Amino acid sequence: MKQPVMQHTPAGFPGVDLHTHILPQMDDGSASVQESLRMLQQLQQQGVGALALSSHYYPYREQLTTYIQRRQAAWQKLRTALYAGAPRLALSAEVFFCDTLLAQDDVSDICTTGADGQLYLLTELPEGRPVSDNTLHKLLQFMDEQGIIPVLAHLERYPDLFHNAGKLKQLTQAGIRVQLSTTAIPATFWESRRIKRYISQGLIHGLGSDAHNMGVRAPRYAAGYEQLCQMLGQAQAEDLNRQAWQMISGRWLQPADKLTCATP
């Protein structure tokens, strides 16, 4: 059944979700095709018109070719069950950044393709410890060698980056992009001010629900986005979605009905 595109979010440019775990039986996300479809419908009801299917990839656990084969099989299962009018979908991956990844010759197959043909890679940094200058140096080196642009997943999980505007600015000026989770909004008063300032300064470039299932980590996009509209104004919030759109709109997985609101 076709779902309305902007049912619960302010009308305008459709929501773009850079970070989901909707592909079935790939990781700790969706456990079945049926759950994947419910997640897609839930996001669409919350105003999401386009999203990335970004299952976890841990280079130190699995060969890249094996992961790509598993991901393609999962996509074929979902594709055959996909309903008409589903959101536009882009294959992606949430890649754990480690030395094993640095040894890969070519990671283009797990990147999204931007509107201009540029490759983007949703990248997860180690959590629970400060992000070292050495890690950031390796990330920049990886970007240059591979010709890709890393998109840092869930900024709010790296406190030393989230609270260091100077370091974040250095990374974004070097070309790195940053994703914030919709579940981090609404935030505390001071965090809300920080998020508003970062978006206004161009230090955050897209949103992600990080949806994993229909239970405790169900899709939660609309509440955060509506709060963002209140914080920034709808025009600036929509501009954030336009930036995210540019990072995944170069190669869609399936034909889609024309969105009910304007696209770039």
Over residues 234-256, the pLDDT tens digits come to 999 999 999 999 999 999 997 64
Distance between CA atoms of residues 108 and 111, nearest Å: 5
Residue 9 lies in a domain: no
> What's phi and psi for 256, nearest 5 deg?
-135, 150
Residue 234 lies in a domain: yes
The percent of residues in the chain predicted with pLDDT above 70, rounded, is 91
Residue 231 lies in a domain: yes
Q: What is the overall mean pLDDT for the chain? A: 91
DSSP code for 19 = -
Query: 238 versus 258: which is more confidently predicted?
Result: 238
Residue 259 lies in a domain: no
Q: Look at residue 6 in the predicted model and tell me its pLDDT.
A: 39
* Number of neighbouring beta carbons within 10 Å of residue 135: 15
Residue 264 lies in a domain: no
Do residues 178 and 204 make contact, with C-beta atoms less than 8 angstroms apart?
Answer: yes
Summarize the confidence of residues 69-93 as an average pLDDT.
96
pLDDT digits (tens, 9 = 90+) for 132-189: 899 999 999 999 999 999 999 999 999 999 999 999 999 999 999 999 999 999 768 8
Residue 192 lies in a domain: yes
Distance between CA atoms of residues 264 and 248, nearest Å: 12
Residue 128 lies in a domain: yes
Q: How confident is the model at residue 11 (pLDDT cuts 50, 70, 90)?
A: low
Residue 257 lies in a domain: no
- Domain span at residue 59 reads 15-248
Domain holding 184: CATH number?
Answer: 3.20.20.140
CA 75-81-86 angle, to 5 degrees, is: 85
Q: How many domains does the chain have?
A: 1
